Amino acid sequence: MREGRNQPASQNELHLLELLRDGNEDAFVSLIERYHTSMFRLAMIYVSERAVAEEVVQEAWMGVLEGLNRFEARASLKTWIFRILTNCAKTRACHEKRCVPFSSLAALEIDVDEPAVDPDRFLPADAPLPGHWASLPANWDSIPEQRLLSRETYACILSAMDALPPAQRLVIILHDVEGWTSAEICNVLGIPETNRRVLLHRARSKVRRALEQYFEEQES
């Protein structure tokens, strides 16, 4: 399986690494402030309870401290930290007896038979124009900006993301919420770029459909 190419640690990260290895407490605190929330959000995809996710994150930080002297900086410090986090989360998920539902997440496989867009969005084979849109997607340009940015719309987006299959939810959160690059996602999760692109496209399609339904209900 071909993964995204590792980007080595930057000069800033190498300097930070030296401080960490020297036991600089401020450097470690700054690292926690930078990544702790993202690590917790990622852990919550693997385990179901907040308390367990916090334990996973704490375990990952311990793994970081214990592995500092072995880190060779062939990948970025961020990639290395989140690899430790995902390994801890997968192990804990198995202990929590969530291995079966998360088996596909471990390898982030894609279902080649799953359509990117719901087939109900298209006209059936016996229609005058089979395969065309049954109804055009909502015209987002016509929706006032305040509605797009409202708390209710945000809640709809979060709900739609929570309903996604684990692999799709993981990729869309890392890309669209956390702002990770494609290479970072592929390197941390160990997936090829093709899988990442398909998973993200399917996740966004489902979230978009949920938003369209929400706006349609608001207008009816």
- What Cα–Cα distance (Å) separates residue 75 from each residue in 67, 85, 179? 14, 15, 18
Look at residue 150 in the predicted model and tell me its pLDDT. 66
Token code pair at residue 142: 């016509």
Give bridge partners of residue 133 from the DSSP assignment.
122
What's the mean per-residue pLDDT of the chain? 79
- The DSSP result for 118-177, as a single string, is -GGGB--TTSSSTTSBSSPPP-GGGS-HHHHTSHHHHHHHHHHHHTS-HHHHHHHIIIII
What are the pLDDT digits (tens) for 173-194?
999 888 999 999 998 888 899 9
Q: Judge whether 43 and 81 are in contact, CB under 8 Å.
A: no
Give domain 107-219's CATH number out of 1.10.10.10, 3.30.1050.10, 3.40.605.10, 3.40.50.2300.
1.10.10.10
Q: Name residues whose C-beta falls within 8 Å of residue 173's C-beta, 6 or more positions apart in sequence.
A: 41, 42, 45, 161
Domain ranges of the chain: 11-99, 107-219
6 secondary structure, DSSP code: P
The pLDDT profile of the chain, 220 residues, written as one tens digit per residue, is 334 456 787 888 889 999 999 999 999 999 999 999 999 999 998 888 899 999 999 999 999 999 999 998 888 999 999 999 999 998 888 877 655 444 445 445 555 456 555 555 555 556 665 444 455 445 545 555 555 556 777 788 888 998 998 889 999 999 988 899 999 999 888 889 999 999 998 998 888 888 888 777 776 6
Amino acid of residue 88: C
The fold of the 11-99 domain, in CATH, is Rna Polymerase Sigma Factor; Chain: A (1.10.1740)
